[in-house]
Amino acid sequence: MAAPVLEVIALNAADAVAAREGGADRVELVADMGRQGLSPAVRTFAEVRDAAGLPVRTMLRLQDGYAPGDAAGLTRAAAELRDAGADEFVLGFLDDAGAVDRDAVEDVLTVIEGCR
């Protein structure tokens, strides 16, 4: 059995440092928890990566809910975060029927290919 992993949500570098000091194994970086957690700015990702000393899993979502929304904006955000060094992502999109939106997921995966 694999050892348990403690993942803590962080909104900024201070959160990530506090998570590390509290025993986190990794952080999930999001923006705007009031909107269910959205993709962070590239600058925020870089600050968290540099401060955390932990693996950083970066959220890919540009709007509330689980629909992909602006597909071009989503793939652009993924590419910008990837170019900044993000190599672990959290994502998933649903269609209007509540099923996995495979097209949206595959579009993003082409941009972050090779990442976890």
Q: Would residue 61 count as lying in a domain?
A: yes
- Banded model confidence at residue 2, pLDDT cuts 50, 70, 90: confident
Q: Which residues pair with 57 in a beta bridge?
A: 28
Residue 85 structural domain: 7-111
Q: Would residue 116 count as lying in a domain?
A: no
Q: Would residue 105 count as lying in a domain?
A: yes
Q: If you average pLDDT over residues 72-89, what whole number do you get? A: 94
The count of structural domains within the chain is: 1
Q: Would residue 2 count as lying in a domain?
A: no
Q: Would residue 52 count as lying in a domain?
A: yes
Q: Would residue 1 count as lying in a domain?
A: no
Report pLDDT digits (tens) over 33-71. Answer: 888 899 999 999 999 999 999 999 999 999 988 888 888
Q: What are phi and psi of 78, to 5 degrees?
A: -60, -45
77 in Cβ contact with 60 (< 8 Å): yes
